[in-house]
Amino acid sequence: MIRKEINEIKSQFTMEDCGILKMCGCYVDGEKQKITQFSETFLNLPEEEKHKYFDIFKKTLSGTQGKNLIDMRFTTDSYADEGARTFLYKLRDSELKDEKLLNDFYDKVITSYNYPGNFLILLINQVYDVPGRTSDGIDMEDASDEVYNYLLCSICHVTLSKPGLGYHKEDNAFHNQEQSHMVDLPDIGFLFPAFNERSEDGDSVLFYSKDADDFQQSFLSYVLDCEVPLPAGNQKETFQTLVAETLGDECSYETVKSIHDNLNEMLEEQKSNPEPVALNKTEVKELLEKSGVKEERLQDFEEKFEMAAGENGRFLAANIAETRKFEVKTPDVVVKVNPNRTDLVETMEIDGKQYLVIQIDEHLEVNGICVNPETGEVQYNEEM
């Protein structure tokens, strides 16, 4: 899903546009025991509570695409009669009125969700009458293309508030405030089916994770049965390892710099594209070829890639590219370069030794002091 499609669904969580048919929930303690379950007609809730729930639902569709919000495809097994995708469709089509399906869903989440404390499972079923849209992007409210019927699941930690003094309006004084169990904003969640190209996409699910480096692998495997991508925080390290193993002893400064430049060029060219730039196995290989990696070094690249990122793995360019810095390190020296000016740094052999050569313009500063780049003399400020 692109950002516009995500925002279009988020915009439904208002008092005016709300189409939530049903909201169900299950409160679970730290021993993974069900404390209570509930089923509500959402429109009958007090207005103050609706707004609190809207905050949770909107947060489940917030964050950075490719990091907190991930488009995932179902595995082949999920399409079977007892598969995860089939189950989710049964749950959606039941309009959350089938208690057995709801209990089965709660049991799946409780079994697979890794958290030591209390948590709340929230599940809503909403319908959205998707308006037609003109070629210039204007909605036609009276020309609906389809009804998008979906589930949104939010899993929230429940924590104790801090004890202390609290203000009481009854007697206009401060008294001891008892601790209460408070529902946090969601830790993880998902939207099913996905809303791609402004239409239902039953082959995909949009997954949310507050922690971009922890995707709750067990939950994804057992509840959603999706092809799980590498977390954003692991993608850069995995990509760097893949490059190093592919190049071996031919991993040169110039080649790494070329990979850096080509990645940033790719991001610049695609910056108007609403979808994050992703590189699959073939595209990463093409990137390395373009950056000067020799053909013989790429002969077993596919195998290396699959071992590192999986057969259908992808790297988001924004997760593996260094857009804010270009850094060169030795045991004793660290050089940081504007990522757009890597042309100022090159390697050179002098008297049989390799040196890092940095081009200097008219401005040179050493420990905060401006010096003459030609003579090394201090350049005094004329106002002093």
Q: Please give the pLDDT value at position 165.
A: 81
Confidence at 384, pLDDT banded by 50, 70, 90: very low
Q: Looking at the predicted structure, is the pLDDT value of residue 382 above 60? A: no
Rounded average pLDDT over 2-12: 91
Give whole-number Cα distances, 236 to 64, 284, 300, 308, in Å: 16, 13, 21, 12
Q: How far apart are CA 129 and CA 143, in angstroms?
A: 10
- Mean pLDDT taken over the chain: 87
Beta bridge partners of 39: 24
Q: Please give the pLDDT value at position 19.
A: 87
> Which residues, in sequence order, are CB contacts of 246 under 8 Å at separation 6+?
288, 293, 297, 298, 301, 304
pLDDT tens-place string over residues 70-118: 999 999 999 999 999 999 999 999 999 999 999 999 999 999 999 999 9
Q: How far apart are CA 113 and CA 188, in angstroms?
A: 10
Confidence at 135, pLDDT banded by 50, 70, 90: low
Confidence at 134, pLDDT banded by 50, 70, 90: low
Q: Considering only residues 189 and 176, tell me which one the structure prediction assigns the higher pLDDT.
A: 189
pLDDT tens-place string over residues 309-327: 887 788 888 888 887 778 8
> Which residues, in sequence order, are CB contacts of 206 under 8 Å at separation 6+?
1, 6, 61, 69, 70, 71, 72, 190, 191, 192, 194, 195
Q: How far apart are CA 239 and CA 241, in angstroms?
A: 5
Q: What ranges do the domains of the chain cover?
A: 3-228, 233-320, 326-371
Q: Looking at the predicted structure, is the pLDDT value of residue 198 above 70? A: yes
Rounded average pLDDT over 214-235: 86
Q: Please give the pLDDT value at position 38.
A: 95
Q: What share of the chain is helix, strand, coil (3-state, %, to 5)?
A: 35, 35, 35
Q: Please give the pLDDT value at position 59.
A: 96
Q: Which of 26-30, 232-236, 256-260 has the lowest mean pLDDT?
A: 232-236
Share of the chain above pLDDT 90, in %: 43
* Overall pTM surpassing 0.95 (yes/no): no
Q: Are 254 and 292 in contact (CB under 8 A)?
A: yes
Rounded average pLDDT over 352-366: 81
Confidence at 180, pLDDT banded by 50, 70, 90: confident
Q: Please give the pLDDT value at position 355.
A: 83
Range of 24-28, 125-129, 224-228, 376-380 with top mean pLDDT: 24-28
